Amino acid sequence: MKSLYWQTPPAPYWKLSKDRIGSATAGEARLMTTAFITGITGQDGQYLAELLHGKGYRVFGLISGQRNARAETVASALPFVELVEGDLQDLASLIAALEYSQPDEVYNLGAISFVALSFKQPELTANISGLGVLRLLEAIRLVGGSPNPIRFYQASSSEMFGKVRETPQSELTPLHPRSPYGSAKVFGHHTTVNYRESYGLFACSGILFNHESPRRGQEFVTRKVTSAVARIKLGLQDEVALGNLDAKRDWGFAGDYVQAMHLMLQQPEPDDFVIATGQTHAVREFVELAFAAAGIDDWERHVRIDPRFFRPAEVDLLVGDASKARRVLGWAPQMSFDELVATMVAHDLEVEQRKLA
């Protein structure tokens, strides 16, 4: 990976957002819309980068750390992404990264996103998933000036609803987080709204319910299960250890959800939107369906309950009301729950079979 931090932007980098083209000189007129994505190595970052690239965007991705192993993965899987070094914990690096990439749209998907980890590293979680949002908004405010042409998307989360006050949950449901992760996301969410109201930034918050795919990390329950199911099917292991099977989640497909992120930034006004399927399933149902998709009926024989995977406080039930997104953005999920489970199991069977070959 090339180090970009200390370089000054190459010459005709200067670009203007769509609504500023009117006053641009010929030399200044932009050729491509540019997006800047934090969390580029994650599931959502990858789907979003592909979506935007397909729409003709120039795509920059923020990469943190020294010899970040996942940067190599992104470089080979998404060769069109231009990687920029920086960290959500370091305001100066964010300013430099934005000055370098001159984005029209910034998508903040970077976070400590694993709820269980947030209980073990609460301060780090608050710093990256909470204060990181503030730093990025400050960087946008400083780099974009006034009126600020940079549009901002914040990855808010249904974890913010926590101990839910109503069902289904909408943009108006009161927040009651149940984890350091949820609390950090609440801070990021309110900060996004505050920058919109204080400085007139085009800042949107997408309150996304759980969204999965074959690209999901194996620490999350869905991929942990589908990966184990594939290995059990092939005789490579006999059981999988899980925690609370009674928790209920509204699970959708990540590829559908990144479309909503993009749509939010194309609206005439910034706003907040719940993105969800409107259906909820217990973890137990996911497990049963995943085993069934691999042709295994006696799933209970292969599942061991392990207290290590229970959390100090649980979010028992999530189900979203995405009617505002449907009405305003024209967004609706495309992939059903059954299809999602089947797709993930099929992918993991293929991965494990390839390893055996």
Cβ neighbours, 10 Å, residue 114: 15
Q: In terms of Cα–Cα distance, which of 64, 62, 66, 68 is closest to 40? A: 62
Indicate if 153 belongs to the active site.
no
Restricting to residues 170-209, which ones interact with ligand GDD according to CB under 6 A?
A: 209
Nearer to ligand GDD, 127 or 244 (CB): 244
Element (H, E) at 266: none
Site track for ligand GDD across 203-242, x = CB under 6 A: ------xx--------xxxx-x-----------------x
The residues near 232 (Cβ < 8 Å, ≥ 6 apart) are: 238, 239, 240, 291, 294, 296, 302
Q: Which tokens is 163 given?
A: 């101990």
CB 312 within 8 A of CB 248: no
Catalytic residue among 181, 227, 257, 352: 181
Query: Minimal distance in Å, beta carbon 61 to ligand GDD?
Result: 19
Catalytic residue among 129, 157, 179, 183: 157
Three-state DSSP at 283 gives helix
Cβ neighbours, 10 Å, residue 135: 22
| Sign, Cα dihedral of 219, 223, 224, 228 | negative
Residue 113 as a binder of ligand GDD (CB under 6 A): the answer is yes
Q: What angle do CA 352, 310, 316 make, to 5 degrees?
A: 100
Nearer to ligand GDD, 94 or 240 (CB): 240
Site track for ligand GDD across 61-100, x = CB under 6 A: ----------------------------------------
Nearer to ligand GDD, 101 or 213 (CB): 213
Indicate if 181 belongs to the active site.
yes
Query: Minimal distance in Å, beta carbon 49 to ligand GDD?
Result: 18
| Contact region with ligand GDD (CB under 6 A), list: 63-71, 137-145, 152-160, 228-236 | 152-160
Three-state DSSP at 250 gives coil
| Sign, Cα dihedral of 220, 105, 262, 137 | positive
279-315 as b/e: b if 16+ CB within 10 A: bbbbbbbbbbbbbbbbeeeebeebbeeeeeeeeeebb
Nearer to ligand GDD, 195 or 257 (CB): 257
Nearer to ligand GDD, 159 or 352 (CB): 159
Residue 158 as a binder of ligand GDD (CB under 6 A): the answer is yes
- The residue length of the chain stands at 357
Indicate if 85 belongs to the active site.
no
346 burial level (CB within 10 Å; 0-12, 13-18, 19+)? middle
Q: Which tokens is 31 given?
A: 């050729």
Residue 278 as a binder of ligand GDD (CB under 6 A): the answer is no
Q: What angle do CA 3, 67, 344 make, to 5 degrees?
A: 110
Query: Minimal distance in Å, beta carbon 309 to ligand GDD?
Result: 4
The single residue among 48, 128, 139, 283 that binds ligand GDD, judged by CB under 6 A, is 283
Nearer to ligand GDD, 103 or 182 (CB): 182
Residue 243 as a binder of ligand GDD (CB under 6 A): the answer is yes
| Contact region with ligand GDD (CB under 6 A), list: 7-15, 27-35, 156-164, 273-281 | 156-164
Interface contacts to ligand GDD, rule CB under 6 A: 113, 115-116, 157-159, 209-210, 219-222, 224, 242-244, 247, 249, 283, 309, 311, 314, 318
Active site residues: 157, 159, 181
